[in-house]
Amino acid sequence: MAMSAKPSSGGDEGDMPPVAEINVTPLVDVMLVLLIIFMVTMPLMMSQLPITLPKASLSTEDHPDKLTVSFDLQYNYFLQVNDQPKEQVAYTDLPARLRAISQAEPDKTVTVCADKDSIYDRVVDLMAIVGSAGFYKVGICP
């Protein structure tokens, strides 16, 4: 059994068969560049919705039936109905007073006011008292 051996031509590449595989590296490079281009240009192409925001109003003319419940840093609680002067109320009497007002006028807008240095838990507690008294229109002072 004889084996036929071709003489080596000293590293000549013409003897190798052609490679039938595709080189994927340049394809991946081009795809990554296209991906980056699309990622940068997509936010610019997004259509934006025009939004008209309502204007804030601090006037009390919109709500003539207004009730203000507030407290200070010494935890003195105050009630102010419409344009009457503030009236100091004990914390224990506050739920009963608010319930009486809510039964007489349930559509009143209640504004909860507190000092900026007051504890947040006290504000939440006061809002819970106002809600349990039967008011459903509750706001916070600006």
- Whether the CB-CB separation of 137 and 107 falls below 8 Å is answered with yes
CATH number for 114 = 3.30.420.270
Is residue 3 one of the residues assigned to a domain?
Answer: no
Please count the structural domains in the chain: 1
Domain enclosing residue 75, as ranges: 66-140
Could you tell me if residue 105 is inside a domain? yes
Q: Which residues contact 49 (CB under 8 A, 6 or more apart)?
A: none
pLDDT for residue 107: 79
Write out the DSSP string of 44-109. Answer: HHS------PPPP---SSS-SSEEEEEE-TT--EEEEETTSPPEEE-TTTHHHHHHHHHHH-TTPE
Nearest residue to 79 via CA among 67, 95, 91: 67
Q: What is the pLDDT of residue 33?
A: 96
Considering the domain boundaries, does residue 24 fall inside one?
A: no
Q: What is the pLDDT of residues 38-70, one digit of tens each?
A: 999 888 777 766 777 667 655 545 555 688 888
For the cut 80, the answer to whether the pLDDT of residue 3 exceeds it is: no
Q: Look at residue 134 and tell me if it is in a domain.
A: yes
Tokens of residue 132, six digits: 């349990």
For the chain, the average pLDDT equals 80
Residue 22 lies in a domain: no
